[in-house]
Amino acid sequence: MDATTIMTALCAEEGRLDPYTWYARMHEKEQVFVFDKPIANYDAVAHGFAAVDQVLRDPSFQLMDEVWEDAKSPHWRGHPALVALKKSVFFMNAPGHTQMRSAFNSVFTARRVAALRPAIEQLTNVALDRMAAAGAGGQPFDFMSEFAFPVPANIMGELIGVPEEDRVWYRARARAMGDILDFDTVNWRTVKAADTAVNELNAFFADLTAKRRADPRDDLISALVKTQDTNEWLDDVLLFSNLITMFNAGFVTATNMFGHSVVYLTERPEMMRAMLDQPDLVPGYVEEILRCEPPTHFVVRHATVDTEVTGVTIPAGSLVLVLLGAANRDPRKFPDPDEFDPMREDNHQIAFGAGAHHCLGAALTRVEGAMGLPMLFDRFPKIEIAEPLKPPNQLTLRGYDVMPVRV
């Protein structure tokens, strides 16, 4: 099977439902494919671990920022959702990215994450009590809505400063934003819904930042508002765009991690028991879940100059699909890559990216997993999937929408 056929399948529904079959076929060949004609608008794909790592670290591969978008599509600024994305740290190149990342680094500190531990424990216990009530008498309930969503959303809410009463309201708007990020999900309907969501979120954060200016608290919004006093470049449009995208990315990543953990560990009860018996093993479980099921399977870069990647030249101007999900299943890097093995040595997976754009919230996600997984399975060691699951149908922010369970 040639590279074009594999890539075409991956970009279709069959690839979204089961990408791993197609990743395995990619790994039978070289680490980079360059196509004679674009497939789904991509001129090349990097899928091997070494190739993905190189592309993510090499500054000659750039994000599709505002400048790139202006050259390609003069009408994009008429869509609030696209403006929010392009003005976020997730779609910036240097020097703008350096400025924004520095601002976040100054307030998104290890101290602030460590200070969240009591809140993480308390919020997790609240969700576990809610699960117990929902599952009383063997009644099935949705794990995603009772635990996997509210725990990370409430933790990010505590960190950023989004009030508890607004967090459920936020979920639908975050989903609308996520719906325009996959291979073939950008259409009139999804963009219109995302634009509506961003307009509502901009108004929400305008109100919230005004309150924090008047009455600062120990949260990220207050810290960033203070940062504006000495950084004229950080205007409200830029601030709101980054608050929207950071909150979305922050909780969705952990939400999907928790969902996948239930699937993997209920299928492997002996591994669940080993994790509970030996707490020092928990970080390895978190890493292996993230390796097997990364929160997003791909990012995109464009080549600014001809660049050789693992022996293959990617021409300047190429739009490159960078497959994190495939890199995490590369047999050159991970023996028996499709096996779930929390005891792997040298498990330096790439779910959070690499280089300048390494995920800002990676440390928080790991803390949430390291604390939340033992608490969840210690409280409910007999948790089980209540009915066959519908597989995820997306590669960006990949996870289950609904997961019926019994406890």
* pLDDT, mean of residues 363-377: 96
Residue 231: how many other CB atoms lie within 10 Å: 16
Total domains in the fold of the chain: 1
> Which CATH number characterizes residue 174's domain?
1.10.630.10
pLDDT value for 22 = 97
Q: Which domain holds residue 123?
A: 3-406
- Residue 22 in contact with residue 9, Cβ under 8 Å? yes
pLDDT digits (tens, 9 = 90+) for 159-209: 899 998 898 898 889 889 888 888 767 788 999 999 999 999 999 999 999
Model pTM score: 0.93
The average confidence (pLDDT) of the chain is 94
From the number of C-beta atoms within 10 Å of its C-beta (0-12, 13-18, 19+), residue 214 rates as exposed
Q: What span, in angstroms and rounded, lies between the C-alpha atoms of 25 and 58?
A: 26
pLDDT value for 361 = 87
- Residue 32 in contact with residue 309, Cβ under 8 Å? yes
